[in-house]
Amino acid sequence: MSIKIAVLGGDGIGPEVTAEAVKVLQGVRSDLEFSTALCGGCAYEATGDPLPKETLDLCRASDAVLLGAVGGPKWDKLEAALRPEIGGLLRLRRELNLFANVRPAKVLRPLLQASPLKNNGGTIDLIVIRELTGGIYFGEPRERRDNGNTAIDTCVYTRAEIERIAEVGFQVARQRSKHLVSVDKNNVLETSRLWREVVTEFAARNPDVSVSHMLVDNCAMQLIRDPLQFDVILTENMFGDILSDEASMLTGSLGLLPSASLSEMKGSTVFGLYEPIHGSAPDIAGQSRANPIAAILSGAMLLLYSLGDKKGSARIEAAVESALEDGLRTADIFENGCKLVSTIEMGDAILAKL
């Protein structure tokens, strides 16, 4: 029986990088069936809706979703519901109940030079677990009052929402150092007080993982001061948005980092959406200059989390490292003495390494 993967290339460099990810996945497994659909600005252009019903239906009928990137300056002025980010990506997360965002920030060995931490005696390898369908991103009311002169966003969290993301955080921590840092703003926000309360109770029931709590402003500082102290960071939607960008920058190469947005973690497999953390980079779209590695590693995460295929996932990661060890570099990570390659050449080289 084949496994159905929905491919949403999206905008800008999205389709180019996902094409390489598909190519590499096909090199690892022959039982994957790929179907493409529109999402983001391209979908808005074609149908007037950044997330057309056919796309949502295809995702629902699939075992996993591979996404490129959405958005671009062209659509920035549209009303919120029509913008690729809100009407496309955020709606997709919500509709597919993708509540758990897993964002590894890891320095690949051949790129140690690019990391600002290269002299610190260690290599960054941490994971941010970000709650993805609650908090201020989705709270109601969200509106203008007073003739547009007052703007309101609302932050809401329920105990159930915090418990289910805590469970994912603990499961991930169990496979790693068994230590987790839960990040909140408990000295100010009521949602953070509930967050800390629920995580503390969860920790008491799960003593195999040790938990410490950190305020988000301190965490932002500690990530710069001593990032090696972190292994798993568990946090709410907006803090996770910001901290995961910060963590990714510590690795020195945004174009290399994948992410998973998971719906439910039952046993070893789960429905999920996999995407690079970088954006659609419209300035270099269509030139085969984008780095496909984040998309390819997103494919590796897909194998691991949605199909429980540890071996396939590890093969892709090893192939990526090996291509980098050979000195192949796309423009974003180019260094003197290396060989500059295009998006497609990088994909081909990684495929060959399998």
Task: Report, as residue numbers or ranges, the catalytic residues.
Answer: 137, 185, 217, 241, 245
Distance of CA 354 to CAs 111, 200, 312, 319, 321, Å? Answer: 20, 44, 10, 6, 11
* CA angle, residues 62, 67, 72, in degrees to nearest 5: 140
Closest approach of Cβ 89 to ligand IPM, in Å? 6
Q: What is the DSSP letter of 261?
A: E
Contact string (CB under 6 A) for ligand IPM, positions 85-124, x = contact: x---xx----------------------------------
Per rule CB under 5 A, is residue 20 in the interface with Mg ion? no
223-252 residues in contact with ligand IPM (CB under 6 A) are 241
Per rule CB under 5 A, is residue 275 in the interface with Mg ion? no
Contact string (CB under 6 A) for ligand IPM, positions 70-89, x = contact: ---------------x---x
Q: Which does 85 bind (CB under 5 to 8 A by kind): ligand IPM, Mg ion, none?
A: ligand IPM
Q: Which does 309 bind (CB under 5 to 8 A by kind): ligand IPM, Mg ion, none?
A: none
123: part of which helix (H) or strand (E)? Answer: none
Nearer to ligand IPM, 279 or 347 (CB): 279
Contact string (CB under 6 A) for ligand IPM, positions 147-186, x = contact: ----------------------------------------
Per rule CB under 5 A, is residue 161 in the interface with Mg ion? no
- Taking CB under 5 A as the criterion, the residue among 241, 275, 309, 317 binding Mg ion is 241
**101 with 132: CB under 8 angstroms?**
yes
Give the total of residues touching ligand IPM (CB under 6 A): 4
Could you tell me which stretch among 75-83, 160-168, 234-242, 261-269 binds Mg ion (CB under 5 A)? 234-242
What is the pairing mode between strands 179-184 and 150-154? unpaired
Could you tell me which stretch among 61-69, 122-130, 198-206, 235-243 binds Mg ion (CB under 5 A)? 235-243
Closest approach of Cβ 130 to ligand IPM, in Å? 8
Count of CB atoms within 10 A of residue 10's CB?
29
Closest approach of Cβ 323 to ligand IPM, in Å? 26
Which residue type, as a one-letter code, is found at position 138?
F
**Alpha carbon distance 12, 287 (integer Å):** 10
In 306-337, which positions are buried (b, 16+ CB within 10 angstroms) versus exposed (e)? bbebeebbebbbebbbbbbeeebbbebbeeee
Closest approach of Cβ 348 to ligand IPM, in Å? 28
Nearer to Mg ion, 291 or 313 (CB): 291
Q: Give burial (CB, 10 Å; 0-12/13-18/19+) of 138.
A: middle
- The sheet carrying 179-184 orders its strands as 32-36, 3-10, 64-69, 272-276, 258-262, 100-106, 125-131, 232-235, 179-184, 210-215
Nearer to ligand IPM, 11 or 241 (CB): 241
**Alpha carbon distance 349, 27 (integer Å):** 12
Nearer to Mg ion, 241 or 317 (CB): 241
Closest approach of Cβ 145 to ligand IPM, in Å? 24
- 3 state DSSP class of 183: strand
What is the pairing mode between strands 258-262 and 232-235? unpaired
Per rule CB under 6 A, is residue 209 in the interface with ligand IPM? no
Q: What is the DSSP letter of 120?
A: S
Q: Which does 233 bind (CB under 5 to 8 A by kind): Mg ion, ligand IPM, none?
A: none
Count of CB atoms within 10 A of residue 342's CB?
16
Would you tell me which residues interact with Mg ion (CB under 5 A)?
Answer: 241
Would you tell me which residues interact with ligand IPM (CB under 6 A)?
Answer: 85, 89-90, 241
